[in-house]
Amino acid sequence: MTDTTNDPVDGGALPAVPQTNDPGLEAIYRLWIDIIREARMLGGRDAARRLWRSSPLPPLDATKSKKKGDEPPDWVDSFLADCTEPAPGARLKVSAMWETYVAWCKPRGLEPMSQNGLMRQMTARGLRRQKTSCMYLVNLRLRVQ
């Protein structure tokens, strides 16, 4: 039978590989762990967790009781670095930021948060909003791609 351990691997959030007496099963687990580690490097912790849930590995520890939205997905900073740049005096329409964010998430296989959630993340990062005829983020612009 499978004996699982819940000790973290290398200080990470994912538990260690379950130990079995079957070398073939351990090889399959090791392959899944390697794939999940690669997904984390490419798509962040949330991508790794989604992949873990679809794997034959034991479920992750679900005892953490954080409210949804307390901790931002770890790709928000990547989105800002990839698609925006500071621009003193500039104004960026929130709707344009949202469309860019959704387009940025799609090819990466990330599920975008709601527009309100994204704006809360922008405010948490110190970006100011301004409302005139529509909502803007100030001192920010989209990076020319």
Position 64 scores a pLDDT of 47
pLDDT number for residue 96: 92
Per residue in 95-122, pLDDT tens? 999 999 999 888 888 888 888 988 888 8
Indicate whether this model's pTM tops 0.85: no
**Running DSSP on this structure, what letter comes out for residue 10?**
T
pLDDT tens digits for 40-91?
A: 888 887 888 778 877 777 776 544 444 555 555 567 888 888 888 888 889 9
127 token code pair? 């970006």
Give me 11's structure tokens: 């200080």
